């Protein structure tokens, strides 16, 4: 990669590509007019007018190209106001608040410092991708799902199954997690058995568990139960289907994506000797 000179400029699309490639989740532009759209001259019969170009602000361009969250200023902001805002915003993030709540706390700080007769508290504008829940750092307390009463408790009669992370190249497994206790929790938080560190994955996203049939005679079956904000995508009947706050049966070979179609693909597999 070449080294750019200090005079090199990049446009919003080029910057977005760099940020997305580097995995940046939140971009903060604590500077004047960083959330203001570009304008163009429009000539009329009597004079020339300037009007905003829709979706042309740096913040909106970055969101459009895949940056999960962008914070900018809609107008000019003084150094003192910008410093007050970023200090309060950073403290709120340090307390593990979601981005939108941290912005609200920082705006409240500006309002307390500069009162209603100053526009400072109205300047910060936050843009968030609809599939981003705003969580940068998970809360310390993680709610763990208890094993359902109907789940299999005798480990010996559970069909052996695996959840496999599939490579985007060649569709081959690169990592596998055994479902050897009849219950696997999936999510972004540390309390899960399978941790998927993607911004659209909820802290407590879903669980895969094994359950006996109601008659107690046939072989136990596996199910997926979704708890998430954005749902779980399941490849079934030759198409992707979104499951949201539902429970569905799983069959061997079923492909899953948690939270977004852009997410990593995982595959649920039951070992051959246990299949009917």
Domain annotation for the chain: domains and CATH numbers: 12-128 (no CATH), 155-274 (2.60.200.20)
Tokens 């997305």 locate to 20
pLDDT computed for residue 154 by the predictor:
45
Beta bridge partners of 266: 165, 256
Q: How confident is the model at residue 232 (pLDDT cuts 50, 70, 90)?
A: very high
> pTM for the whole thing?
0.48
For the segment 171-197, the average pLDDT, to the nearest whole number, is 87
CB atoms within 10 A of CB 162: 18
pLDDT computed for residue 42 by the predictor:
66
3-state SS record for the chain: CCCCCCCCCCCHHHHHHHHHHCCCCEEECCCCCCCCCCEEEEECCCCEEEEECCCCCHHHHHHHCCCCEEEEECCCCCHHHHHHHHHHHHHHHHCCCCHHHHHHHHHHHHHHHHCCCCCHHHCEEEEECCCCCCCCCCCCCCCCCCCCCCECCCHHHCCCEEEEEECCCCCCEEEEEECCCCEEEEECCCCCCEECCCCCCCCCCEEEEEECCCCCCCCCEEEEEECCCCCEEEEECCEEEEECCCEEEECCCEEEEECCCCCCEEEEEECHHHCC
Mean pLDDT of the residues in the chain = 82
Dump pLDDT digits (tens) for 138-181. Answer: 665 554 545 444 444 444 567 889 999 988 776 788 889 998 77
Dump pLDDT digits (tens) for 198-231. Answer: 989 999 999 999 887 666 556 788 999 999 988 9
């Amino acid at each position: 990669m070449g080294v750019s000179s200090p005079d090199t400029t990049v446009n919003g699309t080029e910057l977005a590509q760099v940020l997305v490639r580097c995995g940046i989740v939140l971009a903060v532009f604590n500077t004047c007019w960083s959330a203001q759209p570009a304008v163009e001259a429009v000539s009329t019969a009597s004079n020339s007018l300037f009007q905003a170009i829709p979706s042309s602000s740096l913040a909106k361009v970055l969101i459009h190209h895949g940056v999960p969250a962008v914070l900018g200023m809609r107008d000019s902001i003084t150094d003192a106001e910008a410093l007050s805002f970023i200090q309060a915003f950073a403290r709120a993030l340090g307390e593990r608040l979601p981005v939108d709540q941290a912005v609200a706390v920082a705006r409240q700080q500006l309002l307390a410092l500069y009162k209603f007769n100053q526009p400072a508290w109205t300047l910060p504008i936050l843009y968030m991708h609809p599939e981003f829940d705003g969580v940068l750092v998970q809360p310390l307390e993680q709610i763990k799902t208890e094993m359902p009463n109907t789940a299999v408790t005798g480990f010996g009669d559970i069909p052996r199954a695996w959840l496999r992370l599939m490579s985007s190249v060649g569709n081959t497994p690169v990592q596998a997690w055994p479902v050897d206790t009849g219950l696997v929790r999936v999510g972004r938080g540390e309390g899960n058995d399978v941790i998927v560190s993607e911004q659209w994955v909820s802290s407590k996203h879903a669980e895969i568990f094994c359950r006996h049939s109601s008659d107690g005679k046939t072989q136990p079956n596996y199910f997926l139960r979704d708890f998430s904000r954005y749902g779980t995508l399941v490849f079934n009947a030759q198409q992707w289907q979104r499951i949201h706050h539902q429970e569905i049966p799983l069959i061997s070979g079923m492909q899953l994506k948690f939270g977004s179609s852009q997410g990593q693909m995982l595959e649920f597999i039951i070992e051959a000797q246990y299949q009917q």
